[in-house]
Structure 1
Amino acid sequence: MSKKHGNREGVVYSTNPDFEYQQDEPAETTTLPPQQQQLRVQLDKKQRGGKQVTLITGFRGTEDDLQTLGKLLKTKCGVGGSAKDAEILIQGDVREKVMGELVKLGYKNTKRIGG
């Protein structure tokens, strides 16, 4: 099967000889300033083998900025974790440290979710 046509979602066949498939370009996302971000910090144990992680959700911006924020938070807390799909996972229950660091960085609309 030829991969030259890429991913054509929803188009199977066209009888029009002049048909040109137009792929939608993903819109470039820009990172909102910290004052406009609405981050949520919560403790999560689901599907992690009983281990606790601090989950930060609600980040709106580029993947590079998410990685940078995730790396900074992991360094400040002294633990491991990951950052992908607009979520930052920090190993362990470090919600208080994370909240403090986010406020220092200018993320004023940070909310703690759950216990």
Structure 2
Amino acid sequence: MDLSDQLKNLFPDHKPSEIEPEKPKSDIWMQEDPIICKYEKRKGKPITILEGYSGADSDFKKLTKELKTKLSVGGSYKDERIIIQGDYRDKIMQMLKNKGFNVKRVGG
């Protein structure tokens, strides 16, 4: 007996809805041009840099905060670039692609 059968036994009058919930719309402006994701070392420590976003600064700051929170790392936003501590190019690129951005990897 699977979960749906158990639920039917518990709630015989309930009829499940066939409507699938819509995906939440992003509150961040999407652009056609790719965001450039590159890797550098500064003072011997690796960093990941994202640049090329042409939206509003507030949207870019929201994106910075979301990336830092999901990766549990430090970073900052300045000079129209997101700087994340550590080499997280693959994870960041996957997260941005899931959001609907075009991402281009630059460098090694």
Q: Determine which of 31, 39, 46 is the counterpart of 1:43.
A: 39
**Inter-partner Cα distance in structure 1 for 2:58 and 2:29:** 14
**Inter-partner Cα distance in structure 1 for 2:79 and 2:57:** 8
**Is there any run of 5+ residues in structure 1 with no aligned partner, and where?**
1-31
**Is there any run of 5+ residues in structure 2 with no aligned partner, and where?**
1-27
- Compare the two structures and name the one with the higher helix fraction: 2
- Compare the two structures and name the one with the higher strand fraction: 2
Alignment of 1:96 with 2:84, yes or no, is: no
- Number of equivalenced pairs: 81
In structure 1, the residue matched to 2:9 is: none
Q: Determine which of 89, 104, 107 is the counterpart of 1:111.
A: 104
Q: Determine which of 53, 71, 77 is the counterpart of 1:77.
A: 71
**Inter-partner Cα distance in structure 1 for 2:67 and 2:39:** 15
Whether contact under 8 Å (1:73, 1:98) holds in the other structure is: yes
Whether contact under 8 Å (2:31, 2:53) holds in the other structure is: no
Superposition CA RMSD, Å = 1.5
Whether contact under 8 Å (1:39, 1:59) holds in the other structure is: yes
Alignment of 1:59 with 2:20, yes or no, is: no
Shift of 1:56: 0.4
Shift of 1:58: 0.3
Shift of 1:37: 3.8
Question: TM-score, normalised on structure 2?
Answer: 0.69
